Amino acid sequence: MSFSPLIRQLIDALRILPGVGQKSAQRMALQMLERDRSGGMRLASALQQAMEGVGHCTQCRTLSEDALCPQCADPRRDDTVLCIVQSPMDVFAVDQTGFRGRYFVLKGHLSPLDGQGPEAIGIPALLARVEGAEALREVILATNPTVEGEATAHYISQLLIPRGLIVSRLAHGIPLGGELDLVDGGTLAHAFAGRKPMGG
């Protein structure tokens, strides 16, 4: 079975989407062509507008075509607490928990061997952000729970603690609802080390 060149090109292009393999890409391409060409055209134009138009929020560096993203532009958010994450996807994950402070989005994590130093991941912009934030009291480091994420969090904490800020890190431990024997050893060790007394 083969497809005509334009359909083949569309199937190949759809595979750049995360989680989309050859089979899903085929189904997507054929279904759009059969049932929803106007939806396909709308998607083409939304893609082009977003890829060309979206930049970064001047304040938190998340993705936004406006100078201030919706989170930074919202006057009801708490200016005393700033959450530092590694990517715009993480802003969404943290906001889902109910957090309503401010954000700063790094460009990934420190990785000296790949030439990803403090400048490359946006540390100077973070420091400028912190300097300008008069009401700021606490910084929450929500970088990934990986070796690189930990190293990045440690590096930032060394810069911010001397400025008199409270600096905290997300707690490690066993995930809610998990079964103990399915939890990996490193996580379990962290959970032991971070054990808390139970109320009487």
Which residues bind to Zn ion, rule: CB under 5 A? Answer: 57, 59-60, 69, 72
Residue 161 contacts which entry, Zn ion, a copy of itself, none (Cβ below 5-8 A, type-dependent): none
Nearer to a copy of itself, 95 or 165 (CB): 95
Residue 83 contacts which entry, a copy of itself, Zn ion, none (Cβ below 5-8 A, type-dependent): none
Contacts of 84 (CB under 8 A, 6+ apart): 103, 104, 105, 106, 126, 139, 140, 141, 142, 143, 156
Q: How far is the CB of 62 from Zn ion (least distance, A)?
A: 5
Residue 79 contacts which entry, Zn ion, a copy of itself, none (Cβ below 5-8 A, type-dependent): none
Residue 164 contacts which entry, a copy of itself, Zn ion, none (Cβ below 5-8 A, type-dependent): none
Nearer to a copy of itself, 71 or 152 (CB): 71
Nearer to a copy of itself, 70 or 124 (CB): 70
Q: How far is the CB of 199 from a copy of itself (least distance, A)?
A: 33
Residues 82, 94: Cα–Cα separation, whole Å: 12
Residues 141, 104: Cα–Cα separation, whole Å: 10
Burial class from Cβ neighbours inside 10 Å (0-12, 13-18, 19+) for residue 127 reads middle
Render the burial of 41-67: b for 16+ CB within 10 Å, e for the rest. Answer: eeeeeeeeeeeeeeebbebbbbebeee
Contacts of 31 (CB under 8 A, 6+ apart): none
Nearer to Zn ion, 20 or 94 (CB): 94
Q: Find where tokens 């006057």 sit.
A: 75
Site residues (vs a copy of itself, CB under 8 A): 1-7, 9-10, 12-14, 16-19, 24, 26-34, 36-37, 39-54, 63-66, 69-71, 87-89, 91-92, 95-96
Coil, strand or helix at 177: coil
Q: How far is the CB of 51 from a copy of itself (least distance, A)?
A: 4
Nearer to a copy of itself, 34 or 181 (CB): 34
Q: How far is the CB of 148 from a copy of itself (least distance, A)?
A: 17
Residues 130, 82: Cα–Cα separation, whole Å: 9
